[in-house]
Chain A
Amino acid sequence: MKRFFEKFVESALLISGSITSITILLIIIFLFKEASGLFTTPVIEEGYELALNKTNPVKHLTSYEIKEIFDGKISNWNEVGGKNEAIELVRLSDLTKYYTEAELGSNFENIPAKSSELTSKHPGIILFLPTSYIKKDFNGTLLKHETLHPGDFFGGKEWYPTASPSPQYGLLPLLLGTLWVSLGAILLSLPFGISVAVYLAEIASMRVRNILKPVIELLAGIPSVVYGFFGLVVIVPFLQKLFQLPVGETALAGSVVLGIMALPTIITVAEDAMRTVPRAMKEASLALGATHWQTIYKVIIPYSKSGITSAAVLGIGRAIGETMAVLMVTGNAAVIPHTLLEPVRTIPATIAAELGETAAGGGHYQALFMLGVILFVITMIISISIEFIGKKKYSN
């Protein structure tokens, strides 16, 4: 009976273990599956066509070029490898400039014929209209439907997923925003965190430690939205005043908030590492006439180096994945940041802010999942490096 019970518990444990692992694997597979379609989505909105005059030698436009043309930034065909000819931009709604409503027909039944005519008459035209208005005898070149190039995603400098006709899914501004904010956070929190850890582990009296440690650990339990709120109400206006900025919602504000959030992790991990320095090491140093401070920086810190590195990496991990607080204080402008005093947008903030507005399965949706994959890869690299650092400690 007892043996049967043990077997039962054993298999229950096995099942729960495998279910957990399978769930995690499924989540990862789902993430990759949803993201995988990104590079097969067309660069032009689905159900639309871009048409050019037949004499136009341009047969191919990148997603970025299309966007620049429709933004009016590119106004001559020679900029995209064509003749020296001004670009004439025509959207569906612009047809009324060329034809009267009567000519287009009361039910717009003449649009296909008229747009064909318009395209053939204007050598510099680029016409953007729904596929349903393109008839077989259309007199013009239809741009081939290309798919998003990985280079456009990984090297893209613009994140503008609602751009029409060609949404921009450039990773760089978001990735750099994330790294920028995290780097700032770690630069702020690491020196503080390690000093506090040294203080707690080596200098503070038992009583002070017993009060401080739980308070610091409590910091880790505050919901991130509260940190964001605090950042928005206190840090953002403070930075705005301090640096005379037009807006205080900057990468630096995000760094400060994240730095505060990462502190408990860094302090706890680093302090634990310092406390595991064998007493024999400390005593050996002190017995040789070293002062307490000499012992701290010549023995304790070098000895707990790997623990301190883990603390830093864990802190970075926390900073990179953090969503809510950053979303609230960084201003969320998806531009490549040049200083810490500019608004930035991070990867997690982008996903949180935009996923609700996308159509499932669309290009934007897939792009957000691809961002999730990127985040996953970054955090995985971080965990692997922690593992590696941890192993190194014991190999010596």
Chain B
Amino acid sequence: MTNTRNIETNTNLSSPLGARGSLDVRGLTIDAKNVDFYYSEFHALKNINFEVSKNEVVALIGPSGCGKSTFLRLLNRMNDLIPGTRMTGSVLIDGEDIYAPNIHVDELRKEVGMVFQKPNPFPKSIFENVAYGLRVNGIKDKTFIEERVIESIKSAALWDEVKDKLNKSAFALSGGQQQRLCIARALAISPKVVLMDEPASALDPISTAKIEDLIHELKKDYTIIIVTHNMQQASRVSDKTAYFYLGELIEFDKTTTIFTNPKEHSTQNYVTGRFG
């Protein structure tokens, strides 16, 4: 492991990507240039250029199969797991090319956390779920792990509901609670960017509202990219919105602009619900 951690003075894991922001602005910039992506022969993403500043919340919208999830998964190299895929172009996070050969994927994924569409807790206790990321990153200090777990569960707005049953199986939680547990788990390793792939699509309105509140909270500390099918959600939580269609990034602008005065006709059709 290249980075060392100073447990006493700071609870943030240090960045393997080099330069890091001051404490109040922790998020990282993302800059994708001329990205093309293929599933075998299928051209899933076509020449995407996409830039995000620190601590922004960006919503990716578009009809199913438009490539928004694929693009999201490029940002922490999750697509590496799918055989037969190919990418050209470059993705810079905090100025560094994450597809460069000297980048360790596991180090990258500590910086760029991810929350999946379906809650996917491990078949372990609530505590162990959140502690997992710390443990696999070589942290052994028990008190530090405990503090960090509690802190993460609190910042995922789950503490009051689970504080008495941290040793119970995570499967005993409701879907919404499980999803917040997954968010807590992602936050525990102190990423700088959080990717969310339709985090509320499997949840009821109350749980969804909690997650959205949470995103507002998290914005202070993280750069957040969220894929959503829900227009209202996109308009509620995001600063900027990107509209994908058939593998192309059609329009990327301030959320208010996208929803009130989009430049492209296709975007307007989509956000007003005329198609998609």
A78 located at the interface, meaning its Cβ lies under 8 Å from any Cβ of chain B in the complex: no
Q: Contact between A278 and B106 (Cβ–Cβ < 8 Å)?
A: no
A58: Cβ under 8 A from any B Cβ? no
- State whether the Cβ of B192 lies closer than 8 Å to any Cβ in chain A: no
Contact B81 A288 (CB under 8 A): no
The total number of A-B Cβ pairs within 8 Å is: 68
Checking A286, A291, A299 against B122 with a beta-carbon cut-off of 8 angstroms, the contacting residue is A299
CA distance A351 to B51 in the complex (A): 77
A288-B136, A291-B136 known; A283 and B109 CB under 8 Å? no
Looking at A206, A284, A285, A291, which has the most chain B CB atoms within 10 Å of its CB? A284
Determine whether the beta carbon of B78 is less than 8 Å from that of A283. yes
**What mask results when residues 277 to 317 of chain A are scored 1 for a CB within 8 Å of chain B, else 0?**
01111111111111100100011001100000000000000
A287 surroundings in chain B (CB, below 8 A)? 76, 78, 109, 113-114, 116, 186
A396 interfacial by beta-carbon distance below 8 Å = yes
CB of B171 closer than 8 Å to a CB of A = yes
Whole-angstrom CA separation of A284 from B123 in the bound complex: 12
B50-83 residues at the A interface, CB under 8 angstroms: 76, 78, 81, 83
Q: Whole-angstrom distance between the alpha carbons of A298 and B134 in the complex?
A: 13
Residues 121-164 of B, flagged 1 when their CB comes within 8 A of A and 0 if not, give 11100000000110111000000000000000000000000000
Interface residues of A (CB under 8 A from B): 206, 278-291, 294, 298-299, 302-303, 396
- With beta carbons under 8 angstroms apart, the residue of B105, B132, B169 that contacts A288 is B132
Chain B minimum-CB-distance residue to A298: B136
Interchain CB contact under 8 A, A281 and B78: no
Q: Are B123 and A290 in contact (CB under 8 A)?
A: no
Query: Which listed residue (A280, A288, A396) contacts B185, Cβ 8 A?
Result: A288
Q: Is the CB of B106 within 8 A of A290?
A: yes
Q: Are A281 and B120 in contact (CB under 8 A)?
A: yes
Please give, as numbers and ranges, the residues of chain B lying within 8 Å of A290 by CB-CB distance: 106, 132-133, 136
Known contacts A206-B83, A280-B118, A396-B171, A288 near B123 by CB under 8 Å = no
In the complex, which residues of chain B have a beta carbon less than 8 angstroms from the beta carbon of A291? 106, 136
A281 pairs with B122, CB closer than 8 A: yes
Cβ B116 vs Cβ A285 within 8 A: no
B16 to chain A minimum Cβ distance, whole angstroms, is: 10
Residues of B within 8 A of A284 (CB): 116, 120-122, 182, 185
**Considering residues A278, A282, A286, A299, which has the most beta carbons from chain B within 10 angstroms of its beta carbon?**
A286
Given contacts A280-B118, A288-B113, A288-B133, 7 further A-B contacts (CB under 8 A): A206-B83, A286-B109, A287-B78, A287-B113, A288-B136, A294-B136, A299-B122
User: Known contacts being A280-B118, A281-B120, A283-B120, is A289 close to B81, with CB within 8 Å?
Assistant: no
CA distance A289 to B169 in the complex (A): 22
Residue B212, interface by CB 8 Å = no
Chain A residues contacting B123 (CB-CB under 8 Å) are: 302-303, 396
Q: Check: B189 CB closer than 8 A to any chain A CB.
A: yes
What is the CB-to-nearest-CB distance from A92 to chain B, in angstroms, rounded to a whole number? 73
Taking a contact as CB atoms closer than 8 A, the residue among A206, A283, A294, A303 that contacts B116 in the complex is A283
